[in-house]
Amino acid sequence: MSADALEQYLNAMGIIGCNVNPYLPALDDLGFCWQDMTALLDRQGLFTAKVYRRRTVYLSPEVYHLLRQLRARRPMPPDAAALHAVLGGSPPLETGELKRLSQLDGRTYAKAFDFLMEHLYITAIRSGRRLNENWSTLLYGTAEAWEAQAPPARSCDDPAAALRAILGRTLPETEVAKLLR
């Protein structure tokens, strides 16, 4: 496939999983690959998050903006706030460098990082070092840094209805309801 085909899919369906799972189509399920994702990521054509079942998913810019309109952000725990502050004050970072700069122990870092990904505070901004033919690192930054480079949000009077319409193409109604909480 290609990054353009992935972009078309995301714009139509709103969400795709990173890894194969029983709940949501993933890149591999639909013939996409890591390079398709990173090419689209590098042009801000997707938002990486853990908003669905705490799994890494890729959202279309439209779905991201609709979720941001709909979901109130939970206050950040202190460790997550410290991690967010590191990202807010630096260029995009690989996770290893972010962990080192945060000075958090491994378990605390992972919990803080996951909180920020689950609540749309941070995302992958672009691809990093190529590790092999099928994998690379990612560089993370704040959601605001991504928004500054991404397509602008469109105004929507009923983001919940818009999300149900888009995500309902991929997910059962009960799963969409979980995601909208």
Residue 12, pLDDT score: 94
Residue 21, pLDDT score: 81
Residue 161, pLDDT score: 94
pTM: 0.93
pLDDT tens-digit readout, 43-56: 999 999 999 888 89
Q: Is residue 181's pLDDT more than 90?
A: no
Q: Give the pLDDT mean for 22-39.
A: 89
Q: Which domains are seen in the chain, by residue range?
A: 3-174 (1.10.10.10)
CB burial string 72-111: b at 16+ within 10 A, e below: eeeebeebbebbbebbeeeebbebebbbeebebeeebbee
pLDDT tens-digit readout, 145-173: 999 998 888 888 999 999 999 999 999 99
